Structure 1
Amino acid sequence: MSAVWFQSLKRVKSDATFLDLVETLEAELEQGTGVDATDPQGRTALELLMAKPAPSALAVRWLLDRGADPSSCADVRWQIGDLYPEATDSSAELLNKQYRAAPYLMLLAADEARHGVEEGVADSGHYADKFAAALATRRRIDALKSGCHDLCCGFRAHSQPLLHPWQSHWGGLPWLPQASLPAPLAADPRLVLAVQINFDELIQGELPHPLPSHGLLQIYVTQPDEDLGEEPGGEPVALFWPEVPADAAAWRVLPERRLTALSLKVTDQGRALSWRPYRKLPEAEEQLAKAMERLPTELRPRQRDLEQERASYDFGLLPRLYGYEREMLPEGHQPLLHMMHTEHGGSLFSLPTSALAGNATDWQQLTHTYYYD
């Protein structure tokens, strides 16, 4: 076993670091180190690389070209599954996923070349085709949107680390001013923080929307007693501060106001939410048809792709609802936030259309609709 070989491989964190170390690795092979040599823990070079959070595609390709045995690694289909294209992915996100999936697809293809493909199991070509098709579909959808005017805006929710109290988040610890509790909270100890939205986090200007340009919104709901079989319900309480605090010195944390009900839990509870803007295709079929006619035939999305695109507008801030969820929306209301719960059902927060008016929004008219799916 060559210590230099494995020490160099451990330093490979990216394609760039691999290129810095490739001459050293070439020299080790020339001096007799086996490409499938194992370290004291029994791991080959490929296993060391594939165990990294983001394996270097160039390094994996280099090892496979020099005869490394792909069967020394565990099945990588679950890593590919984590990177599987989704209808909500932008072109940039799809390209990122495609590149991150490349090392796993290389390994899978090399293993198939040696041992064949198990019947009934998706092969590397299937996954590669899915990535290519998703990117082509996204580019066609984007081309269609570019031919439409005055498109509505929405914001998709993505999780990220929770680093400070003012980030947007579902559930979690509520922070409130050191002064006495707001009257609605003082009157009802069962009110807990459902969601906090920091409007300063939204990208402003590029896509117009009816949300405030700044400020902090906290929405409190009644914590159901699930031991007694209670279900979520009751009127929400919305607290809004026009300015996000500069620091927490004048605020205090209230752990007793934390949401714990399983019926209201979401997948990313306890993590911060980031809001990624997107443009929605027009609802009017006539407007959509005219935009389609202006596109070259090869750039026109298929009907199935249009349906998947529209279905992706269901959740997040300023969603567009379809089917059953749309029936849950109170008449004359604009959906503000729609979140899916991990157990079943979802929560829909909405306002009368006239009440959702940017920095002048009347938060006292906010409604919470909890439903089963």
Structure 2
Amino acid sequence: MLNFLQSVQFVKEVEKMIVEYERDINFNETIILYEIAKHDPELIINLAKNIKQHYFKNTIELCSIYPAKVGLCSQDCKFCSQSIHHSCSIEIKNLAMLDEVIEYLENIVPFPVKRFSLVTSGERLNDLEFEKILEIYSYISKNYNILLCASLGFLTQEKAKKLLKAGVVKYHNNLETSSTYFKNICSTHTQQQKKETLKIAKETGLQICSGGIISMGEDMIERIKLAFELRELDVDSVPINILNPIKGTPFEDMKIIDANEIFMTLALFRIVLPKKTILLAGGKENALKDMEKIAYECGINGCMVGNYLTTQGMGIKDKVEMLESLGLKVQSNIQKLNY
């Protein structure tokens, strides 16, 4: 174990490596940082903060999602309230119509939200549902100046091309956790299927977004593995969700990790993925409460705003005000185009 002076020197060398030489840290070096963090967490938090400042200054980008189809999912992910395998009380919702999506979009027009995504439950959409989603994306693309993302389950190359043509620029599919821990959260599909979808999206020309959920019983080593697997896929953005234990799911009694462990997780993801957009996503309000502000000192440069799929988030206006009070510059605005 390194003493304090050795730890300080090691952290300085890592910062120089990442910031000046733009060389990625390896797995063993990350484990050393984690060991340092157990005794001197501020060294690692400051490292992450400095890396974020170097690549992104004081900016932060916002994204918002709309649940375009909810419930009746055939998959058995243990964290999810939408699975038919669990006994959750949620409102089932068939595929959304254009007018309700636009109604939601109009409600976030006044706020500086950079990206907007439709999210659907289930393994994948059927062909008819997919064509209807394409119509919605095409309309938004022609009428709103906002970056469009999609989270529609598993994907084929043909469908990826259609999404790109409809104006979608980024595709999302979370790995959820490390490949070695995935068996503990789902048995009805493999993580490899997720990776294949991300590869298809990337090869088609879409950017890719993938992250996971922390506090599902995994340890920090598994989280570090996830960060490296995301780096190997060369994802463009990484949403980090914190489990919100929902009654009726197998994880309803899961204990949430403490705030300091959340902060350290965020910091290590920034260090492993220095140039990527790392977003604090679902579950942050429930897990962090008044301590959420501290999370934005841990190297992240993105935030999901508004409500989630089946749980509530902080109002967008309040979130933007909070972020700006921290001295963060929120990027971009949605604007309705005038033709």
TM-score (norm. length: structure 2):
0.23
Bigger Rg, which one: 1
The higher relative CO (CA closer than 8 Å, separation ≥ 6) is in 2
Larger helix percent = 2
TM-score (norm. length: structure 1):
0.21
